[in-house]
Amino acid sequence: MTELILPAEVTAILAPDEPAPFELHNEAGGAPVLLLCDHATRFVPRTLNNLGLSEAELSRHVAWDIGIAEVTRHLASRLDAPAVLSHFSRLVIDPNRALDDPTLIPQLSDGVIVPGNRDLMETARQVRLSTFHQAYHQAIGLKLDAMAARGPAPAIVSMHSFTPVMKGLERPWEVCVLWNRDARLPVPLMARLRAQGLTVGDNVPYSGRDNHGYTLHIHAEPRGFANVLIEVRQDLIDTHHGAAEWADCLHGALASALSDPAIHEARQDT
């Protein structure tokens, strides 16, 4: 990615004692699969004063994908796979949105007004973009470069969670699989999950063919890597026990689907 050139007067948004904008988990994992977690945390740097939101608001799903970071770390260990997890709230900037998406830095999210994102100056926007969004995606790109050079072609699994109820409607699915054109991984994965007796959604409650799949669109599709986005319902993984249980559940289905050699070929025709 092209490095952003910022005005000299812009100061760092992160304090020295605050965490890096991404986490590399199980970095030495040898499996040809990379796990990604775009919305792993609700962290907001001190300089942003919680974006003007209360603790209760920052604890909601609008700020992060509840439970999925723990599932991702467990699953990475079970698969012996590396993982890249974001370390900033999607309310600061959403790494799973394109740069021209109006929800990249949301002023309103599921009925919650975000005061710290209103009337944002372009310099402040660029600082968030460089510090968080760009840094996270650069980390993913560098890891994929290293894995591809080692071979075989890595599959990419993007991990998310969704709310049990939205706009008064209960969501019946336990796990959902989002995908675009490449069916190599999502179709057999859904079959294996359904064989376990699970209620599985195919491109619901969102679709992998729209902006909900930005991370995969920019990292997997141009390289021809097999990919899938997995969404687990939050009330199933909002405890340590639930997160570990679902990591075990997903591990069995994913390990089986990933064992097909066709998954680990870089293809430009999918």
Task: Report domain extents, the chain.
Answer: 22-262
CATH topology for the 22-262 domain: Aminopeptidase (3.40.630)
Q: Which residues contact 133 (CB under 8 A, 6 or more apart)?
A: 93, 94, 95, 99, 104
Decide if pLDDT at 93 tops 50: yes
Answer yes or no: are the C-beta atoms of 72 and 160 closer than 8 Å.
no
**How far, in whole angstroms, is CA 11 from its chain's centroid?**
28
Nearest to 159 by CA among 48, 72, 247: 72
**How far, in whole angstroms, is CA 59 from its chain's centroid?**
18
The one-letter amino acid at 165: V
Least confident of 171-180, 209-218, 222-231: 209-218
- CA triplet 109, 247, 20: central angle to 5 degrees? 55
Q: What is the pLDDT of residue 26?
A: 97
Mean pLDDT of the chain: 92
Q: What is the CB neighbour count within 10 angstroms for residue 133?
A: 24
Average pLDDT over every residue of 12-35:
95
pTM beyond 0.85, yes or no:
yes
- Radius of gyration from C-alpha coordinates of the chain: 18
Q: What is the pLDDT of residue 8?
A: 35
Decide if pLDDT at 208 tops 80: no
Average pLDDT over every residue of 57-61:
94
pLDDT per residue as tens digits for the range 224-269: 999 999 999 999 999 999 999 999 999 999 999 999 999 999 998 7
Tokens linked to 213: 């799949």
Q: Which residues contact 135 (CB under 8 A, 6 or more apart)?
A: 20, 21, 22
